[in-house]
Structure 1
Amino acid sequence: MEKRKSTRKGYVTVYMPEHPRAYCGFVYEHFLVAEKMLGRSLKDNEDVHHLNLNEKDNRSENLLILEHGQHTRLHNFMKRHDLYDVFRNTGDNKYHVRECECCGEYIGTVLSVDGSNKFCNQECYENYLIEKKANRPTKEELESLLKTKNKVEVGKLYGVHRTTINSWLRDYDAM
């Protein structure tokens, strides 16, 4: 059975005294995973970076093998641009980069329940609402469409959910 423990810095270690990088019999688990990924031992000038900055997350898809200088430059860049929280939250699936639904600019957003993270600013949100209202069918067009299509199909025509069709009908006093 494998003997494992965490260090004070949060890294997971595995008891493997025969490993060339072992210290007091323990080697970092992320080193072992990286070596398995590479199919060889890590070189002295190679570091293993945790993409989501969670030192306990040693899944292969979370690890990146870099030369020491590249790893240092990466952390300097992250520090200079204040990106540590972005990467941590990305790992927790809380932070996403997406396009503003109005202007198409890329924005980094923390996921919200109310959808307030779809726009880069209040002006874009207001422009989006104006544009959506302008693309709304008239009462007569909507009633005509609903004679041959269901609300889901009409919603797809206008890029809205079927509940939006219900709201339009209520606005037009057509329900």
Structure 2
Amino acid sequence: MKNNKWEFNGYIAIYKPDHKRAIKSGGSVGYVYEHHIIAELMLGRELREDEIVHHFNFNPLDNRIQNLMVMPQSQHMKLHRLLDYFKMEDLIKEHATEGHHVYQCNNCFKYLLKDKDFCGRDCKADYKINNKKDKPSKAELKNMVENMQLVEIANQYNVQRKNVKQWMDEYRIS
């Protein structure tokens, strides 16, 4: 099985062999640049052949929607000529964010336009069911209650705080 994500030519690439813009030859067959996928999500349509996705801050790993702009290739070339003429690229790069910044559902890994953990209630419910841990032993719970807040314990076990309180009642931990 191929890796789902990897860095290719300085950009993040995602394995999506059925995508229209998937690379067709070489060692990266089936991969699509992540910023193309996110731009299509932003636009609600596929990118046209003549469209380029520009990174405002010149960081090709920063695929936040607020860092991406879709424009015709001719406009992209003009933009870079203008930035070169006024020597602005270095100034912009000084304020660039680092790393990989995108939002994805924790359950189905769909790209999201907002900083959310899940794309909907169903995915959140599925995630909780599939990632639920067994309830801790009495000794484990007692130790956690002494060293952690209830909400932290609940998050660790993917349950609600009331579930932790029920466990405490069952084990007679106060």
User: Please, what TM-score do these two structures have when normalized by structure 2?
Assistant: 0.50
Q: Does 1:59 align with 2:64?
A: yes
**How high is the sequence identity, in percent, across the aligned residues?**
38
Look up the match of 2:21: 21
Q: Does 1:3 align with 2:4?
A: yes
Q: Does 1:37 align with 2:38?
A: no
Unaligned 5+ segments in structure 1 are 94-175
Which one scores higher on RCO, CA 8 angstroms, separation ≥ 6? 2
- Once residues 82 and 70 of structure 1 are traced to their aligned partners in structure 2, the CA distance between those partners, rounded to angstroms, is 18
RMSD: 1.7
Describe the superposition over 1:42-93 as per-residue Cα deviations: whole angstroms up to 9, x where unpaired: 0011000000000000000000001110000001111111111111112249
Could you say if the C-alpha distance between residues 19 and 92 of structure 1 is closer, same or farther in structure 2, counting changes exceeding 3 Å? closer
**2:74 maps to which of 66, 69, 72:** 69
- Once residues 37 and 75 of structure 2 are traced to their aligned partners in structure 1, the CA distance between those partners, rounded to angstroms, is 20
- Once residues 41 and 2 of structure 1 are traced to their aligned partners in structure 2, the CA distance between those partners, rounded to angstroms, is 24
Look up the match of 2:162: none
Aligned residue for 2:79, secondary structure, equals helix
- Once residues 36 and 87 of structure 2 are traced to their aligned partners in structure 1, the CA distance between those partners, rounded to angstroms, is 27
Look up the match of 2:83: 78
The one-letter code matched in structure 2 to 1:72 is M
The one-letter code matched in structure 2 to 1:73 is K
Q: Is the 8 A contact 2:11 2:60 kept in 1?
A: yes
Indicate the larger mover: 53-62 or 75-84: 75-84
Look up the match of 2:136: none
Aligned residue for 1:82, secondary structure, equals coil
Structure 1's consecutive aligned runs of 4 or more residues displaced over 6 angstroms after TM superposition are: none
Aligned residue for 1:61, secondary structure, equals helix
- Once residues 2 and 42 of structure 1 are traced to their aligned partners in structure 2, the CA distance between those partners, rounded to angstroms, is 24
Offset of residue 2 of structure 1: 6.9
Aligned length: 92
Could you say if the C-alpha distance between residues 27 and 92 of structure 1 is closer, same or farther in structure 2, counting changes exceeding 3 Å? closer
Aligned residue for 1:34, secondary structure, equals helix
